[in-house]
């Protein structure tokens, strides 16, 4: 059976009424469960539901009240979203899901939870020029790793979710996605990937201990990026660069291993399913081995085009799910969601998450109901 989930921000449930939303999901739509954000990056969200404000802005943070004892082993203390400082709706949401038999998942941004990088700049990713990120912390940093393990323990203990969906599980200077590369925009996948590499103190120290010549790797990255803007050769790819600069390639492989090691550590510590969310639509995911690490875990892959379904089915994953946008259930081609979920079940996906509740008009509920029901009947056994 292909399970179906609606992704939601907790404030959307609170503003419309937790019971109202959960009754709709369980009774009217008939999805398997709810995938709700518990730790969010900065968000500016348009909301189509009849709630106020219609544009919601948050600097991000935890959407619940954390228990300090879970973070005793890290200097990275949890930062609560301004929205959640006077309320803790996850308790009500978790209880409501349990009463209705809805499967509850909690979503966590690993590297980009709001304000962590600005509050703890010493834990932020640093690019090849030494600039600290204001968007993301480094998953190689021991305090960040202890924080994430503590966060998982906090959520599992108090809310008993069936699964944790971890996003932004990457070592990346995130601002690389926003850089203007001027005369080389067609090489954004290559040079954006190099510019996203983290050379913070934790990465440098750990990689050196693993036998990587870090200074040589850094010099190679600088040479490749700066040299590209004066070169006429348009054929250079990330693969050819890493093949030419052996230590840079080793550094990327080390970084991938560091992320994989942390994921295994968190998976072993969780008594619920841990799902890794990946977005292959971002060129940095596709090209850099320090970012697109393959791990034998349950994987949720974002798909924004039905033609991506087969390609997004990761052979290395223990179990595959997909995440699809609300637009698949909206407008003149709302039947797309039925076709996508049906095909997903046929080729071996185990679940699908629809993103997100706040962007779903009432007219979208009918195709979601049809898709969830039809997918269950056509799922590959």
| Range of the structural domain that residue 287 is part of | 3-124+136-170+258-378
* 272 CB-near residues (< 8 Å, 6+ apart): 156, 160, 161, 162, 163, 164
Distance CA 107, CA 36 (A): 6
Q: Is residue 340 part of a domain?
A: yes
- For 161, the token pair is 């979710």
| Residue 298 near residue 314 (C-beta atoms within 8 A) | no
Distance CA 370, CA 362 (A): 14
| Residue 196 near residue 172 (C-beta atoms within 8 A) | yes
CATH of the domain at 159: 3.20.20.80
Q: Is residue 273 part of a domain?
A: yes
Amino acid 182: pLDDT: 63
Q: Is residue 196 part of a domain?
A: no
Q: Is residue 233 part of a domain?
A: no
Question: pLDDT of the chain along its 381 residues, tens only?
Answer: 899 999 999 999 999 999 999 999 999 999 999 999 999 999 999 998 889 999 999 999 999 999 999 999 999 999 999 999 888 999 999 999 999 999 999 999 999 999 999 999 999 999 999 999 999 999 999 999 999 999 999 999 999 999 999 999 989 999 987 777 665 545 566 777 888 899 999 999 999 999 999 999 999 999 988 877 666 555 677 778 888 899 999 999 899 889 989 988 898 888 899 999 987 655 444 444 444 445 556 889 888 888 888 877 877 778 899 999 988 888 767 788 988 988 888 888 999 999 999 999 888 999 999 888 876 665 554
Q: Is residue 217 part of a domain?
A: no
The partner residues of 94 in beta bridges, in order of sequence, read: none
Torsional class of 257: left (φ above 0), alpha (ψ -120 to 50), beta (otherwise): alpha
Q: How many folded domains does the chain comprise?
A: 1
Q: Is residue 268 part of a domain?
A: yes
Distance CA 57, CA 364 (A): 24
Closest among 136, 114, 19, 128 to 60, alpha carbons compared: 114
* 43 CB-near residues (< 8 Å, 6+ apart): 9, 56, 57, 58, 60
CB atoms within 10 A of CB 105: 24
- Reduced to 3 states (helix: H, G, I; strand: E, B; else coil), residue 97 is helix
Q: Is residue 184 part of a domain?
A: no
Distance CA 104, CA 98 (A): 8
- For 17, the token pair is 């009424």
Any idea which residue has 């990275």 for tokens? 76
Q: Is residue 266 part of a domain?
A: yes
| Residue 6 near residue 29 (C-beta atoms within 8 A) | yes
CB atoms within 10 A of CB 114: 23
Amino acid 107: pLDDT: 97
């Amino acid at each position: 059976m292909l399970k179906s989930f609606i992704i939601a921000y907790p404030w959307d449930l609170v503003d419309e009424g937790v019971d109202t939303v959960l009754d709709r999901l369980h009774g009217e739509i008939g999805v398997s469960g709810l995938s709700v954000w518990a730790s969010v990056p900065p968000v500016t969200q348009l909301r189509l539901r009849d709630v106020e404000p219609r544009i919601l802005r948050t600097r991000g943070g935890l959407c619940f009240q954390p228990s300090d004892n879970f973070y005793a082993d890290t200097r990275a203390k949890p930062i609560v979203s301004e929205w959640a400082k006077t309320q803790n709706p996850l308790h009500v949401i978790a209880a409501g899901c349990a009463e209705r038999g809805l499967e509850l998942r909690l979503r966590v941004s690993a590297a980009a939870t709001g304000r962590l990088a600005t509050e703890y700049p010493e834990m932020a990713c640093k690019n090849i020029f030494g600039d600290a990120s204001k968007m993301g912390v480094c998953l190689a940093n021991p305090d960040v790793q202890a924080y994430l393990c503590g966060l998982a323990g906090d959520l599992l203990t108090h809310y008993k979710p069936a699964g944790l969906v971890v996003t932004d599980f990457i070592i990346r200077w995130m601002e690389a996605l926003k850089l203007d590369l001027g005369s080389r925009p067609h090489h954004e996948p290559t040079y954006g990937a190099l510019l996203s590499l983290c050379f913070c103190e934790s990465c440098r120290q750990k990689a050196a201990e693993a036998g990587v010549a870090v200074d040589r790797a850094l010099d190679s990255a600088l040479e490749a990026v700066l040299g590209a803007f004066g070169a006429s050769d348009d054929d250079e790819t990330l693969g050819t660069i890493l093949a030419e600069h052996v230590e840079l390639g080793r550094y990327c492989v080390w970084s991938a291993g560091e992320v994989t090691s942390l994921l295994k550590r968190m998976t072993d510590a969780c008594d619920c399913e841990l799902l890794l969310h990946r977005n292959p639509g971002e060129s940095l995911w596709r090209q850099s081995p320090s970012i697109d690490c393959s791990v034998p875990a349950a994987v949720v892959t974002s798909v924004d085009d039905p033609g991506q379904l087969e390609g997004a089915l990761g052979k290395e994953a223990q179990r595959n799910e997909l995440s699809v946008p609300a637009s698949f259930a909206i407008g003149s081609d709302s039947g797309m969601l039925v076709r996508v979920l049906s095909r997903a079940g046929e080729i071996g996906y185990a679940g699908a998450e629809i993103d997100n509740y706040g962007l779903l008009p009432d007219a979208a509920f009918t195709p979601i109901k049809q898709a969830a029901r039809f997918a269950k009947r056509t799922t590959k056994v």
